[in-house]
Structure 1
């Protein structure tokens, strides 16, 4: 059970504005116990999605740091303005994905669609990793 919590925590931390390596941990656990792959997948996907949603909500409800982020990532902000919730399909990308979630909240993009796109993006990433390292 502690493996699931560790994967959840790693996924959560990795998808907030803090660096992390949930992919490496996920692959490690897959190689240790392949029969638990779907439990591992759900734990890391849920944690990673929840972390990204938290970043979105921080952007939505709090404005600290967004001006600084806008100056540092002007192309990402322009991309989010242009594509709206579709941009969140790239929330799986390292570093920029976190900023996309932050800007999506800051721009007050519709929550339901935003959350769906975040979960979809994160799920596809971990499914791809699972497929890549198992088959």
Structure 2
């Protein structure tokens, strides 16, 4: 049940909904849960949450000319320009707070190939959780 809770927490944290999974990850690690399963639950949940953002971005394009659309054409152009300046490689930073979630959304808007998107996002998020678990291991062992 703990791994499922971590998966859900990580999934929610990666969507545009507010959430955080890092404290739960470290708390479960401190309680002695297996680091590999913690890493897998957090990485897969967070990556799949970002995939929801990518899908929403792809679907969002259909509505950009509606009056109720939440972004102006100018905002969409600015976001696209920034993303294209750094390219798909910027998805390695999708784990960053504040900018990571919109980054995955704009990748969908710009129709970044899903395979490339998934690979880069999973790599970035997997590395982040590995680093957190490494820090946790150092702190909890001493």
Deviation, structure 1 residue 67 = 2.4
Structure having the higher Rg: 2
Query: In the alignment, which residue of structure 2 is the partner of 1:20?
Result: 19
CA distance in structure 2 between the partners assigned to 1:33 and 1:70 by the alignment: 50
TM-score normalised to the size of structure 1? 0.88
Q: Where does structure 1 differ by over 4 angstroms across 4 or more consecutive aligned residues?
A: none
Unaligned runs of 5+ residues in structure 2 are 64-68
Q: Is there any run of 5+ residues in structure 1 with no aligned partner, and where?
A: none
Normalising by the residue count of structure 2, what TM-score does the alignment of the two structures yield?
A: 0.84
Q: After TM superposition, give the deviation of residue 70 of structure 1 in Å.
A: 6.6
Pair 1:50–1:69, CA change in 2 (3 A): farther
- Report the number of matched residues: 132
Match of 2:42 in 1: 44
8 A contact 2:50–2:104 mirrored in 1: yes
1:106 lines up with 2:109 in the alignment: yes
Deviations 1:46-81 (A, max 9, x none): 00000011101110123355625973994x543212
CA separation of 1:68 and 1:48: change in aligned 2, threshold 3 A:
farther
1:97 to 96, 100, 123: 100
Tell whether 2:29 aligns with 1:30.
yes
- Whether the 8 Å contact between 2:80 and 2:110 is mirrored in structure 1 is no
Structure 1 residue 82 corresponds to structure 2 residue 85: yes
The RMSD of aligned alpha carbons is 2.1
* Cα distance in 1 for residues equivalent to 2:122 and 2:97: 15
SS in 2 for 1:67: coil
Distance 1:15 1:66 in 2: 20
C-alpha separation in 2, matches of 1:115 and 1:42 = 15
SS at match of 1:19: coil
Distance 1:56 1:131, change over 3 A: same
User: Do residues 129 (structure 1) and 132 (structure 2) align?
Assistant: yes
Q: Which of the pair is proportionally richer in helix?
A: 1
